[in-house]
Copies of this chain bind each other. A is one copy, B any other.
Amino acid sequence: MNNSIRLKSRPEGIPTLENFEFVEVDKPKASEGQVLLKTKYVSVDPYLRGRMRDEKSYITPFELDKPLQSGIIAEVVESHISDFKKGDFVNGMLEWKQFQTSNGKGLQKVDSSKAPLSAYLGVLGLTGITAYVGLLKIGEPKEGETVLVSGASGAVGSVVGQLAKIKGCKVVGIAGSDEKIKLLQNTFGFDAGINYKTTNQMRKAIKETCPNGVDVYFDNVGGEILDAAMANMNRFGRVVNCGAISLYNETEQPTGPRLETSLVKKSLKMQGFIARDYQDEFKEIVPQLATWLNDNKLTYEETIVEGFENIPRAFIDLFEGKNKGKMVVKV
C-alpha cells in the first residue's frame, strides 16, 4: 500500500480538490546506493501554487500526472547508503508519496532530540530561513525603526515579527482575523496588529498604528495591502517582497497603482528573493535560529493536519487563511 498524489489538472484561480488525483503505486525497494523513506511530515506552502502554472519561474513547474513535491520530513526505513541508517530522520524536497526511494542527494539529517520534527519544516527550515534572510539581509532593520509585516500570523510572518523584536524594532502585523491579531500580540510579541478584513481604510490604519511611518515592510501578500503600505513608507524605506499570496490565484495580469514615482521620490528599495538565493549561508542561519528558539526568544505556531489524504485540502486551506503559523500535514 503506497499512496501518491499527482497534479491532475492545472488550477484556474484557487485550487480545488479536483486538481489532485490519488494514485496507488507499488511500494518501492531500495537498491544499492539508495534509502527507502517513509513520509512523516509534509509541508504545504503558498509558493507551490506557482509551480502549478506552466510557466518559467525560479523553479520548474509541476508536470501533469506526476507526483507533487514539497519539503518533507521522512524516516529512513531501509538504507544502502553509509551516511544514513535505519531510524534516521531526514529533510528534503520529496514527492507526495507515503514511501519513496532516494539516492541521498539533497537530504539533510535532522535531530529529533533538539526540536520537534515538524519544526524542521517551519521555524528551523525554509520558513525560518526565509524570514531571516528577507528581514535581516534585505530589510536590514535598525534599532528603533518600524517594521510592518503582512501575512503576519503565517509561518514566515510570525518569525519575521519576532526577529524584528530581537533587533529592537517596533513591529506591526497585518492579519485576517481578530483571533490572529491577538495571537500576534500575545504569543509573538508584536506591538500592534491590523485586521485587514474589518478595516476599510488600510492606508489610514497603517498610518495610525505606525505614526512614525514604516521603515521596513515585509510583504507576503502583495496587492492592495502593498499599496497601502507603500503610501506609508519613510524615505530610504525597504520593501521586502517575499510573496504575493493575494495574486497567486489571479487568472489575468493584475494591475494596480504604479510604484515607480514613489520609489524615486522616497529613495525606496523593493527587493524580491527566495531563501535558496542565500544557500551558502544556511549553515550559519539555522544554528542562530535554533539558539533563539532554545533561548525562548523565538516561538512558533503550527497547524498540524492529520492524514496523507488531507494534503490537498490543507494546501487549499492556505488560501483561505485557515492556518495559524506553519501548515504541516502529519502522515
Contacts and interface: CB of A to CB of B under 8 A. Distances in A.
Given A50-B265, A58-B265, A265-B57, A244 B260 contact: yes
Given A58-B265, A267-B274, A271-B269, A259 B257 contact: no
B272 A267 contact: yes
A264 B277 contact: no
Given A219-B260, A235-B58, A260-B247, A277 B267 contact: yes
B274 A271 contact: no
Contacts of A223: 258, 260
A205 interface: no
Interface residues of A, number: 38
A241 interface: yes
Nearest to A221: B260
A243 interface: yes
Contacts of A265: 50, 57-58, 272
B266 A272 contact: yes
Contact of A264 (B254, B264, B272): B272
Contacts of A277: 236, 267
B257 A257 contact: no
Nearest to A238: B271
Contacts of A259: 259, 270
A66 B287 CA distance: 61
A253 interface: yes
Q: How many copies does the complex hold?
A: 2
A268 interface: yes
Nearest to A257: B253
A266 B58 contact: yes
B270 A247 contact: no
A264 B241 CA distance: 6
B257 A58 contact: no
18 contacts: A58-B235, A222-B261, A226-B260, A241-B263, A244-B258, A247-B258, A255-B257, A256-B256, A259-B270, A260-B272, A262-B272, A263-B271, A264-B273, A264-B274, A265-B272, A267-B271, A269-B269, A271-B271
Kindly list the 3 A-B residue pairs having the minimum CB-CB distance in the complex, ordered from nearest: A263-B272, A222-B260, A264-B272
Given A253-B257, A269-B272, 15 more contacts: A222-B261, A223-B258, A241-B260, A241-B263, A243-B264, A244-B261, A260-B270, A260-B272, A263-B270, A263-B271, A264-B272, A266-B272, A267-B272, A269-B271, A270-B271
